[in-house]
C-alpha cells in the first residue's frame, strides 16, 4: 500500500531564508506526487505536481520540487521565504490504479521577520 511520510512536523525559518520541506513516499511504481498548502482557516491549494518527465517541477508562489526515484522523495523548496508562506504544507501521493490521494501528516511552517 502506498504511504507518505513528512518527517518534519514543524519548521521555523527567517524571512528571506531558503526552505526545504521533506517528503518520502512508499509505492511500487512511479506515483503521481503533489504538494498542497493550507493557510489558516482555508482549504488546500495545489502548489505543484509531478506525473512524469522532468524531475524538477515548478509551481506557484515560487515553489519547486524535485522527484528523486532513488530516494523515494519529493522535497519542496523555495529559495527565499516570505512571511505569507507561513502555512501547513501537505505532500500527497496518488496511485495510478486508484481514485484517491494519500496525504502525509503535514509540515507546519512558521516564518519569523
Partner 1 sequence: DTAVSQTPKYLVTQMGNDKSIKCEQNLGHDTMYWYKQDSKKFLKIMFSYNNKELIINETVPNRFSPKSPDKAHLNLHINSLELGDSAVYFCASTHSRGPNTEAFFGQGTRLTVV
Q: Which stretch binds partner 1 (CB under 8 A): 13-21, 37-45, 59-67, 75-83?
A: 37-45
60 touches partner 1 by CB under 8 A: no
| 93 touches 81 (CB < 8 A) | no
Using CB under 8 A as the binding rule, the residues of this chain from 86 to 105 that contact partner 1 are: 88, 90, 93-96, 98-101, 103, 105
Binding residues with partner 1: total (CB under 8 A) = 24
How far lies 19's CA from each of 9, 49, 82, 93, in Å?
Answer: 14, 18, 10, 21
| 107 touches 10 (CB < 8 A) | yes
Per the structure block, which three cell numbers stand in for 21? Answer: 520541506
8 touches partner 1 by CB under 8 A: no
What values do phi and psi take at 69, rounded to 5?
Answer: -60, -40
The C-alpha atoms of residue 68 and residue 91 are separated, in whole angstroms, by 14
Q: Which one, 40 or 113, has the nearer CB to partner 1?
A: 40
The C-alpha atoms of residue 65 and residue 37 are separated, in whole angstroms, by 13
113 touches partner 1 by CB under 8 A: no
5 touches partner 1 by CB under 8 A: no
42 touches partner 1 by CB under 8 A: yes
Residues at the contact surface with partner 1, assessed by CB under 8 A:
32, 36, 41-46, 49, 51, 88, 90, 93-96, 98-101, 103, 105-106, 108
Amino acid at each position: 500500500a502506498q504511504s507518505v511520510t513528512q518527517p518534519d512536523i514543524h519548521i521555523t525559518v527567517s524571512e528571506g531564508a531558503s526552505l526545504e520541506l521533506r517528503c518520502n513516499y512508499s509505492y511500487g511504481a512511479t506515483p503521481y506526487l503533489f504538494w498542497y498548502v493550507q493557510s489558516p482557516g482555508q482549504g488546500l491549494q495545489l502548489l505543484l505536481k509531478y506525473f512524469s518527465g522532468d524531475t524538477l517541477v515548478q509551481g506557484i508562489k515560487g515553489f519547486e520540487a524535485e522527484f528523486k526515484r532513488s530516494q523515494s522523495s519529493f522535497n519542496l523548496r523555495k529559495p527565499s521565504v516570505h512571511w505569507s508562506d507561513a502555512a501547513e504544507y501537505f505532500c500527497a501521493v496518488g496511485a495510478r490504479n486508484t481514485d484517491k490521494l494519500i496525504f502525509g501528516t503535514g509540515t507546519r511552517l512558521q516564518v519569523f521577520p
